[in-house]
């Protein structure tokens, strides 16, 4: 027996061979986490099993360690406005118009309008300083920083918060568990954030995540992370969850994963992330690759990211081909697996735009075997974000 398809969470990006230790490394091992190399770190891929952890998160609350991700803060000697103006060259979102303590999903673009990373941006004022707080992918964080430094003005500062851990508590009971420990978090709504204090430890908490569930992301000083994670796991609603279930949850939620569903060859329009292109920014057309991106938006891209439901029970995974009736390759699967909530295989793929409408039948080729699939609207499992009200 041998692995024909590596766990895609084990794909070590080139240049990321250096294995560093995250603040919760010993904590994961003590709780039985099976550790694998990921994004230059050892990370827990699972504890009791991906299926059980996935379903637990959908029903209750799962605690994910996402400390490998890059937490970056921008400040400017002459205020934040010039920094934001500079960053908007590479981010097509309306960052200038972003409200205080509001999160925004955005994309880091290259000259051709290709995607170098996807990220979250928040404006905040902490200790009297206006800051832009950004969370970027772990595997790309050092490249992102090198790239961003070329764009920000000389009087701006970029700090990588590498002494901060990042925890994600996700699931319908996340609010109950976290509000017991940090009162007030129940008042946040989806894509808003605030600072809190837990036993003199400063926390930065946003109501956001990448599982499709309600939940929170908690930035905490690394030396307090284990105690806080312990306390969370003492709550009846909470169990620690590994990267394996994080991947199956985000796939069911229809959320693309950088390095798999998004890469520098892909534009926001191809990736079906047009919502990340702010109207004001489209009209100004003042970001990198705007010419190409706006033309694609107007005329339709050649290929587009779609969701697929796969007939039968066999998962079709990243790397499989989308083939036409005559057997010619017309697309590629970029994420695929078994959806625990649905009990069926699902996938994301890039297909020619004329095949991107939901209901379109396509064929997938994997290891010499053909699978029938149908283009399906995403998310596969409905999102349950809390957009207003306390709960």
Partner 1 sequence: MSRYFTEDHEWIDVDGDVGTVGISDYAQGALGDIVFVDVPEEGRELTKGDEAAVVESVKAASDVYAPVSGTVIEGNAQLSDEPALVNSDPEGEGWFFKITLSDASELEALMDETAYAAFVAKL
Residues near partner 1 (CB under 8 A) = 1-9, 45-46, 49-52, 54, 244, 247-248, 313-315, 317, 337-338, 340, 345, 367
**CB 318, CB 260: distance < 8 Å:** yes
Question: Burial level of 297, CB count in 10 A (0-12/13-18/19+)?
Answer: middle
* Nearest distance from C-beta of residue 338 to partner 1, angstroms: 4
Q: Which is nearer to partner 1, 161 or 381 (CB)?
A: 381
- Integer Cα distance of 290 and 14 in angstroms: 29
Any residues with CB less than 8 A from the CB of 343 and at least 6 apart, and which?
A: none
Tell how far CA 268 is from the center of its chain: 15
Q: What is the closest distance, in whole angstroms, from the C-beta atom of residue 52 to partner 1 in the complex?
A: 8
Closest approach, Cβ 1 to partner 1, in A, equals 5
Residue 273 beta carbon to partner 1: minimum distance, rounded to whole angstroms: 25
* Residue 342 Cβ vs partner 1, minimum distance, rounded to whole Å: 11
Name the residue nearer to partner 1 (CB basis): 299 or 314: 314
The DSSP 8-state label assigned to residue 12 in this structure reads -
| CB of residue 287 to partner 1, shortest distance in Å | 36
Rounded CA separation 281/368 (Å): 45
Of 292 and 363, nearer to partner 1 (C-beta) is 363
| Residue with smaller CB distance to partner 1, 47 or 196 | 47
Closer Cβ to partner 1, 5 or 75, answer by number = 5
The answer to whether the CB of 145 falls within 8 A of the CB of 160 is yes
Q: How far apart are CA 176 and CA 180, in angstroms?
A: 6
Q: With respect to partner 1, which residue has the nearer C-beta, 220 or 241? A: 241
Name which of 3 and 325 has its Cβ closer to partner 1.
Answer: 3
Give the nearest distance from C-beta 154 to partner 1 in angstroms: 46
Instruction: Note the residue count of the chain.
Output: 391
Say if residues 241 and 250 touch (Cβ distance below 8 Å): no
Q: Which of 249, 237, 247, 276 is nearest to 90 (CA)?
A: 276
- Give the Cα separation of 37 and 40 in Å (integer): 6
Per-residue b or e along 319-346, where b marks 16 or more CB atoms closer than 10 Å to that residue's CB: ebbbbeeeeeebbebbbbbbbbbeeebb
Q: Give the nearer residue to partner 1 in terms of CB position, either 9 or 278.
A: 9
Give the tokens for residue 158: 């970029």
Angstrom distances, CA of residue 64 to CA of 40, 57, 171, 180: 17, 10, 11, 18
> Measured from the CB of residue 333, what is the shortest distance to partner 1 in angstroms?
13
């Amino acid at each position: 027996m041998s692995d024909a398809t590596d766990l895609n969470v084990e794909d070590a990006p080139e240049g990321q061979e250096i294995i560093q230790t995250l603040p919760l490394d010993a904590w994961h091992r003590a709780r039985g986490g099976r550790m694998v190399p990921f994004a230059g770190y050892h990370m827990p891929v699972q504890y009791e099993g991906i299926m059980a952890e996935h379903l637990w998160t959908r029903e209750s609350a799962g605690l994910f360690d996402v400390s490998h991700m890059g937490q970056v803060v921008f400040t400017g000697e002459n205020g934040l406005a010039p920094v934001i103006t500079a960053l908007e060259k590479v981010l097509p979102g309306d960052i200038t118009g972003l409200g205080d303590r509001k999160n925004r999903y955005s994309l880091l673009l290259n000259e051709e309008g290709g995607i170098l990373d996807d990220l979250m941006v928040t404006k905040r004022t902490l200790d009297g300083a206006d800051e832009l707080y950004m969370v970027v992918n772990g595997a790309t964080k050092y490249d992102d920083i090198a790239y961003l430094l070329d764009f920000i003005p000389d009087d701006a500062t970029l700090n990588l918060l590498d002494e901060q851990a990042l925890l994600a508590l996700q699931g319908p009971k996340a609010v109950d568990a976290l509000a017991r420990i940090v009162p007030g978090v129940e008042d946040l709504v989806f894509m808003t954030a605030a600072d809190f204090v837990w036993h003199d430890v400063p926390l930065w908490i946003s109501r956001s995540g990448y599982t499709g569930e309600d939940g929170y992301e908690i930035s905490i000083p690394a030396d307090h992370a284990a105690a806080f994670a312990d306390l969370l796991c003492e709550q009846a609603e909470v169990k620690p969850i590994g990267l394996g279930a994080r991947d199956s949850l985000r796939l069911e939620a229809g959320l693309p994963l950088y390095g798999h569903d998004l890469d520098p060859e892909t534009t926001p329009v191809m990736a079906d992330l047009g919502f990340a292109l702010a109207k004001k920014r489209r009209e100004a057309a003042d970001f990198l690759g705007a010419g190409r991106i706006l033309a694609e938006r107007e005329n339709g891209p050649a290929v587009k990211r779609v969701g697929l439901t796969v007939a039968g029970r066999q998962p079709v995974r990243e790397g499989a081909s989308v083939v036409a009736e005559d057997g010619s390759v017309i697309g590629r699967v970029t994420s695929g697996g078994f959806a625990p909530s649905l009990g069926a295989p699902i996938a994301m793929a890039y297909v020619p735009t004329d095949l991107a409408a939901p209901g379109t039948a396509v064929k997938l080729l994997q290891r010499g075997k053909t699978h029938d699939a149908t283009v399906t609207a995403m998310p596969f499992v409905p999102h349950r974000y809390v957009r207003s009200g306390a709960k």
